[in-house]
Amino acid sequence: MADLDVDLCVIGGGSGGVRAARIAAGYGASVLIAEEYRMGGTCVIRGCVPKKLMVYASHVRHELDDAAGFGWTIPPATFDWSTLIANKDREIARLEAAYTFNAEKAGARIAKARAVFEDPHTLRLSTGETVKAKYVLIATGGAPNHGEPIPGIEHVISSNEVFHLPKFPKRILIQGGGYIALEFACIFAGLGADVTVVYRGDNILRGFDNDVRAHVRREMEKAGITILTGCIVTKVEKHGDAYTSHLSSGSSIASDQVMFAIGRHPNVKGLGLEKAGVALNPVNGGIAVNEFSQTSVPHIFAVGDVTQRINLTPVAIREGHAFADSIFGNKPIKVDHSNIPTAVFTQPEVGTVGLTETEALAQYTHIDIYKADFRSLKATLSGSESRVLMKLIVDASTDRVLGCHIVGPDAGELIQVIGIAVKMKATKADFDATMAVHPTAAEELVTMRTPSARHVRQAAE
């Protein structure tokens, strides 16, 4: 590819970058996408999609366990890790090809190369070519962070490597209390591994509603997952094919694999941002942007995880689309980052939108809490002891539903729909006026009549 001038150079072929490129090209812009690894980015290649495929695989074990109560006699089942990984790899390759095809079909060009700033308008590709761009969009995403170096850190894998393990670990230690750590803990437990979770905080899922945190922990421990809080791994030793992890509590744990999922950092290193004059956010280390995703350099923009605003694929896609509409479609759009529904694909799943109880109490003077904790109808025959949690946070002064939190089967599917209602400022009366679908777990969302708690915060004198 010869040196060229373009209207837009997108650095990163992930969800946000590709969406921006496709929309910009649709407006007639000349667009180049520079992607040094694989098209699709974190979500498609080593994140949400392959992880969800593995979640499905681990669900099979639970279905087999439940089958006897419904009259099924099933011979002992066996699981083959290599088959799962091979099938997963085939699907990811298909999606990567689709991302490439759709970007090129829209009119964007793809350079399989790393792009680095030489000056605010010039980027040098790792292939040797240079690109002069009227606008630049940085969409390089994030990467796993192992934290402070410890002895034996070279033996620790991240969520990047977990998708390509050559063999299934019968015992795995996972450090971290966020959604990535817990999702993989449930995946490996469901596939038959002995799983230990180590987390420095007092409870898992920091930032989520406290009832959700407590419920998920109980359900995970019920499933046989060991959760150790208030400690960290201080040293990892390798002994043949096994590892010993030493904890700050003084204990040690043997395992066949050690994985850290303690956070992610924005991919800003080595991009030449200093040559372009692009400023970083001193608080979160991501690229600093305004409500239009514009950086400190007016013609350079950034979307997605590299900004460290809200690290979710749909958010990156929405930001990328809004950028292209604003710059190339002459339709200035600010992305609304409030009331974003999200899911955690633990077992059981978590679905959440809006404020937690703690957040609501800090922002409003009168809060009503509606909560239901119950065994599902399926559990009455399957014999499962798992329980479902449904919780609504309501502003008692206006009756508006401020938040909804669900823990149970298909919580991710449910919260997508509830997210619409919360976004539309639905009231508790709107929920109450909606006819229940029976028999479902979700009917609890429209049949909870009596608050489980009422909070009134006195105004400061």
How far from 3 is each of 24, 32, 127, CA to CA, in Å? 21, 12, 11
Cβ neighbours of 335 (radius 10 Å): 19
Instruction: Give me the sign of the Cα torsion angle 159, 165, 167, 173.
Output: negative
User: What secondary structure letter does DSSP report for 138?
Assistant: E
**Gap between the Cα atoms of 179 and 343, Å rounded:** 9
**Gap between the Cα atoms of 285 and 276, Å rounded:** 17
Of 215, 239, 299, 438, which one is the catalytic site residue?
438
Nearest Cα neighbor of 415 from 203, 208, 183 is 208
Task: Find all residues with CB under 8 Å of 148, minimum gap 6, and list them.
Answer: none
Residue 438 annotated to the active site: yes
SS (H, E, C) 159-196: CCHHHHCCCCCCEEEEECCCHHHHHHHHHHHHCCCEEE
**Gap between the Cα atoms of 232 and 248, Å rounded:** 6
Task: Find all residues with CB under 8 Å of 73, minimum gap 6, and list them.
Answer: none
**Gap between the Cα atoms of 15 and 38, Å rounded:** 12
**Gap between the Cα atoms of 350 and 343, Å rounded:** 5
**Gap between the Cα atoms of 145 and 29, Å rounded:** 36
The set of catalytic residues is: 438
